[in-house]
Homo-oligomer: A and B are copies of this chain.
Amino acid sequence: MFYKFHKLILAAAFSFSLFSSQAQGQQPDSAVIRNIYREALTQGKSYENLRYLCTQIGPRLSGSEGAAKAVTYTQKLMESYGFDRVYLQDVMVPHWVRGEKEKAFFKSSVGKQEVPICALGGSVGTGKKGIKAQVVEVQSFEELQQLGREKVQGKVVFFNRPMNPAYIEAFLAYRDAVNQRSSGAIEAAKLGAVGAIVRSMNLALDDFPHTGSTRYEEGVTKIPAAAISTNGAELLSRQLKAGPNLEFNFKMNPQTLPDAPSHNVIGEIKGSEHPEEIIVVGGHLDSWDLAQGAHDDGTGCMQAIEVLRLLKVLNIKPKRTIRAVMYMNEENGLRGGRKYAEVALANKENHIAALESDAGGFTPRGFSIDASPNKVADIAKWKELLVPYGLNNIAAGGGGADIGPLKNDKIALIGFRPDSQRYFEVHHAASDTFDRVNQRELELGGASMAALIYLIDKYGL
């Protein structure tokens, strides 16, 4: 397109002037929020900070060297911004290691075909010889039950129910498909299967296997569980139709090591009037081992740090204490989120709100709020100030995994909700790299979070 003038857009961009009749001497909220966005978009630091985290540190699964480096990096980064206090919170984390790269192939009428797989997080190994077995393909646990032990025993169960693309909101498609990954190995083992292969949680067709936690159940044999790329799943499914007796071979030898020491990383700006009231904003610092963990969840961490930096550089002195928390171990244990809540409880800290960014660094669409209806209504009142920035969806909903353990009658748990369309193409896969993050989208997210934190701090909840 060449050039068009959009009154609509202009109207949105300048709608803050509606609010400018407020108290003189003190900036109206609309102007403060405009300044937050301006600073983030013109002098923002989150993008370059994320570049470092992704490209210089990279994967940072709990217990790994990368995770330790990320702890040190974010600690020093927040110190460099001169926050009032920066500290580490000890937490013991699971320590699972993938070992050498997984291999999988099968033979069909057209010869040997390798397919990309990766062990699911927490999976046991196949042993050095690997596993070779016939395959039974199912779309659901119900279908698996109906097949029964006779048809499953000794086989590899191939869970191949795609994420449902008909959902507008991609997280709903994830919700409906993810039990295959999280519990497939249990259900398959109950019927005597020797392995579980799960179609990657990915709405697109490509060659990346997507990992993610899988669970085992006491009293049920632990069988190896792997994700297969969506293209690999399609290929395998086709070949199974052509030759139902084909044998699937896979080899992987991950290990669960003893729990390892790690840390949550916390930075704070002390409140000037009610320092005992705490507002926390955060993301998780760990990532899966396959990925740079750009969208999951480097963006959330760098946005949380940016929130505090924006307040500081804009000389917005919060009344309440604002904390940025990089939680450790969201991906395979949630130990960091739990530890943070435990310590808060032990110290009788008064958290009035917790905001989490863990849905990718995409264009902001809103916030979902897990709190009493009154508090949801209090936050929704600010909609007029936030809609000019695309934050249309401000309503009751889930908060987030890491802040969940803080839940009580008083706190507002809030999830930052960016556009969801692209998230599952990179989620838990090697494709979750820095170059998939758009600078403006990331910065708009950080500014949106800062705007909300500013309002919560100013008016309380």
Query: Assuming the A-B contacts A390-B365, A400-B1, A400-B4, are A421 and B438 also in contact, with contact meaning beta carbons closer than 8 angstroms in the complex?
Result: yes
Residues of B within 8 A of A37 (CB): 166, 168
Contact call A397/B9, Cβ cutoff below 8 A: yes
Contact call A6/B297, Cβ cutoff below 8 A: no
Instruction: Give chain A interface residues in 377-405, CB to chain B under 8 Å.
Output: 387-390, 392-393, 395-401
1/0 per position for A421-448, CB-CB distance to B under 8 A?
1100101000000000011110010000
**Stretch among A87-95, A144-152, A170-178, A274-282 lining the B interface:** A170-178
Instruction: Give chain A interface residues in 69-92, CB to chain B under 8 Å.
Output: none
Instruction: Give chain A interface residues in 284-313, CB to chain B under 8 Å.
Output: 284, 296-297
A6 interface neighbour in B8, B203, B368, B427, Cβ under 8 Å: B368
CA distance A169 to B171 in the complex (A): 26
**Stretch among A10-18, A188-196, A219-227, A317-325 lining the B interface:** A10-18
A66 within 8 A of B: no
Residues of B within 8 A of A178 (CB): 3
| Of listed A165, A398, A421, residue having the most chain B CB within 10 A | A421
CA distance A204 to B7 in the complex (A): 25
A411 within 8 A of B: no
A415 within 8 A of B: yes
A67 to chain B, nearest CB (A): 17
CA distance A3 to B415 in the complex (A): 13
A459 within 8 A of B: no
A8 interface neighbour in B331, B363, B395, Cβ under 8 Å: B395
CA distance A260 to B11 in the complex (A): 41
1/0 per position for A240-266, CB-CB distance to B under 8 A?
000000000000000000000000000
Q: Chain A: how many interface residues by the 8 Å CB criterion?
A: 71
A419 within 8 A of B: yes
A187 within 8 A of B: no
Residues of B within 8 A of A401 (CB): 1-4
Contact call B297/A9, Cβ cutoff below 8 A: no
A38 within 8 A of B: yes
A75 to chain B, nearest CB (A): 23
Contact call A3/B168, Cβ cutoff below 8 A: no
Residues of B within 8 A of A417 (CB): 6, 8-9
10 A-B pairs within 8 Å (CB atoms) are namely A1-B400, A3-B401, A7-B397, A8-B368, A8-B369, A8-B417, A9-B169, A9-B417, A11-B395, A42-B166
Shortest 10 CB-CB distances between A and B: which pairs?
Answer: A8-B397, A8-B368, A392-B392, A1-B358, A9-B169, A38-B166, A6-B398, A421-B440, A4-B398, A41-B165
Known: A1-B284, A4-B400, A9-B417. 19 other contacts (CB 8 A): A1-B400, A2-B213, A2-B330, A3-B178, A4-B399, A4-B401, A6-B415, A8-B368, A8-B398, A9-B171, A10-B172, A11-B396, A12-B393, A37-B166, A165-B440, A203-B440, A363-B363, A392-B392, A419-B419
